[in-house]
Amino acid sequence: MAARYTLILGTKDWSSWSLRPYVALRAIGTPFEEIKIRLRQQPLTGDEIKRHSKAGRVPVLRIEEDGREAIVWDSLAICETLAERHPEAKLWPTDPLVRAEARSYAAEMHSGFPDVRDQLSMDFVRRHPLPVLREQTQAQIARIVDAWASALARFGRDGGFLFGGFSIADCMYAPVVSRFVTYGVAVPAPVQAYMERVMALSAMIDWGAESQKEVDAGEA
C-alpha cells in the first residue's frame, strides 16, 4: 500500500523551514495532505504544533504506511527521509562525490547564516527595501552567492540547478532565494538566472499564491 504523507507546516508567507520539504515533496510528485498552523499566535501556535511533534517546531511530516506511523521533524531530516524513500526522484545527485558536496551545501544552510535569517526574514509575497546590513550579514550573503555561483559554474549546465538536476541543496536554499527577491539583493547574472529558475518552479508559484491568500486574510 502506498504511504500516506501529511506535511504539517507553518504560515506559508513566513515559514522558511516549511518551504523546504514542501518543494521536495512537490519535486517527487507524490500526493500529500497539508495541515497548516498559524505562526506568531503564541501560546496557541506552540500548543498546536506540540499536538503533532513534541519538538514544538514545524515542519513535521507524518508518514502512515501498512498500519504504522512515523513522525519526522526538522526540515533536513524530512528531506533526507524523502530522498531515501523515493530514490527515483534523485533528490540527491547520483555521483557520490557530487552528492557529498551537495550534502555539505544543505548542511551549511541548515546550520548557518544566522544574520541573514535575522535581518532578511522570509516574507514570501511582500517586497521590502534592503535594510542597512550588518557586516556579518553582508559576509554571509557574499558566501551564499559565491557558493551558488561556484556550484552553478561546475554542475549547473546540466539542468540549471546547483548540482544540475533539482536536488535537496536547492530545496534548502529555496527560502533564501525568496528572501533575496523580497529584499532585492543584487547578485551576478548566472545567480540571478538560477533564482528566477527556482521562483518559476510550480511549487514556488503555488506557495506564493497561498501566501498571498494569507496576506489578504490578515494572517501574515
Ligand X SMILES: N[C@@H](CCC(=O)N[C@@H](CS)C(=O)NCC(=O)O)C(=O)O
The footprint of ligand X (CB under 6 A) covers: 10, 15-18, 39, 45-46, 49, 57-59, 74-76
CB burial class (10 A; 0-12, 13-18, 19+) of residue 31? exposed
Question: Rg (Cα) of the chain, in Å, rounded?
Answer: 17
Smallest separation (angstroms) from ligand X to the CB of 179: 13
Smallest separation (angstroms) from ligand X to the CB of 20: 7
> Which lies closer to ligand X via its Cβ, residue 15 or residue 119?
15
> Which lies closer to ligand X via its Cβ, residue 59 or residue 165?
59
> Which lies closer to ligand X via its Cβ, residue 55 or residue 142?
55
> Which lies closer to ligand X via its Cβ, residue 48 or residue 101?
48
Q: Are 103 and 160 in contact (CB under 8 A)?
A: no
User: What is the helix, strand, coil percentage profile of the chain, to 5?
Assistant: 55, 10, 35
Smallest separation (angstroms) from ligand X to the CB of 156: 25
Q: What is the DSSP letter of 180?
A: H
- Report the alpha-carbon distance of residue 125 to residue 103 in Å, rounded: 29
Smallest separation (angstroms) from ligand X to the CB of 58: 4
Smallest separation (angstroms) from ligand X to the CB of 119: 16
Is the bond preceding residue 188 a cis peptide, omega within 30 degrees?
no
Distance of CA 90 to the CA centre of its chain: 17
- Report the alpha-carbon distance of residue 40 to residue 50 in Å, rounded: 15
Provide φ and ψ at 84, rounded to 5°.
-70, -40
Phi-psi map region of 34: left, alpha, beta (phi>0 left; psi -120 to 50 alpha): beta
> Which lies closer to ligand X via its Cβ, residue 31 or residue 43?
43
Smallest separation (angstroms) from ligand X to the CB of 15: 4
> Which lies closer to ligand X via its Cβ, residue 11 or residue 140?
11
